[in-house]
Amino acid sequence: MSIQAPEIQKSQKQDLFEGVDFLDLDDLLTEEHKLIRSSIRDFVKQEISPYIEDWAQKAHFPYEIVKKFGDVGAFGPQIPAEYGGGGLDYISYGLIMQEIERGDSGMRSTASVQGSLVMYPIYKFGSEEQRQKYLPKLASGEYLGCFGLTEPDHGSNPSGMTTNFKDMGDHYLLNGAKMWISNSPKADIAVVWAKNEEGRIHGLIVERGMEGFSTPETHGKWSLRASCTGELVFDNVKVPKENLLPGKNGLGAPMMCLDSARFGIAWGAIGAAMDCYESARRYAAERIQFDKPIAGFQLTQKKLAEMLTEITKAQLLAWKVGKMMNDGTARTVHISMAKRNNVEMALNIAREARQIHGGMGITGEYPLMRHMMNLESVLTYEGTHDIHLLILGHEITGIPAFK
């Protein structure tokens, strides 16, 4: 029985966002960077902002956005153009993620999973045949993909995974399960990480329709409500041998994918923070209490000043790591610092902005609670806040605290 999609109401509120740039950081961007940002900002204002509050209220994933993301170049912008990607640099990729997450973290999750966790490993570790077969369709939005690493019992410790495959001669036999997988209920393919009989981790491309492969949806989420999340279940799934990613194995392979995705999150979180800050700034100027706008009170000004300062610091951090990504000098520890700092910054700003809005801040009239709930997930996924602290701690002290 098919479930009828809810009727979505278009908001009458106009999206007035024009950006936040206190230190003229646009001077650090090329004209191409600014053009890309502008085109994605316009896309968000037209295709996401008018509908996002209703999508989130109704826990509706708008599947039609997938093709629209493909059309606007949001999938795999850092993948070479010969495979359907944008052939752009990492700062362009970051700006695209920033603008999409300004609209909604769930929308950015859809795009960054596709680009960094599905297209990136196929491009980086796949055969030429795999690249030609899958990447153009993923780039255009004809295919939606997902990334299977986290398991019910193995989140921060992915090396303990139990999902496994056996060599059956003319195919592999895959068994196990993955959990908290963005895009899985609607995905056409999944890049799945599993152990072979020697316990070595490999990536396999699993296609929808393979017998024994199912993608149950996760319901009851209070966060990322406009994106679809689910499981990947493998019950004696026969995977063709040509679907094994040949270019790299071991835990380092999925970790490289996560570095790319975490970099996008570091930029995306700035978008959510800017949306909350701008909403609070406008509301504070309009809301009259004690015969004057609340923007005239010291505590409100303190909140706004701290928000702007933290956004600016995060922008500089993201830009510098973007330069390092382009130069090939960025390491996991650099990306961990940016992801952890910028997501925490955005969550704190969402909470402060909600206070400035008072009771109105808990309603769907304003984006604060939606961003706040979304960012609680972003704080946890692709490396929890604490794990990223420990990655930095290991770097500082030379002593791993994971064991």
Instruction: Report how far residue 367's alpha carbon sits from residue 364's, in angstroms, rounded to the nearest whole number.
Output: 6
Q: Are 280 and 356 in contact (CB under 8 A)?
A: yes
Could you tell me which residues come within 8 angstroms of residue 358 by beta carbon, excluding any fewer than 6 positions away?
Answer: 287
18 annotated active-site? no
> Which of the following is catalytic: 64, 310, 382, 395?
382
**Sign of the alpha-carbon dihedral angle for 313, 316, 321, 322:** positive
Beta strand 229-240 with 213-214: parallel, antiparallel or unpaired? antiparallel
Query: Hey, how many other C-beta atoms are within 10 angstroms of the C-beta on 328?
Result: 6
- Provide the H-helix boundaries in 248-384: 252-286, 298-327, 332-356, 368-380
One-letter amino acid identity for 347? Answer: L
203 — phi, psi (to 5°)?
-100, 135
Q: Are 188 and 143 in contact (CB under 8 A)?
A: yes
Catalytic positions are 382
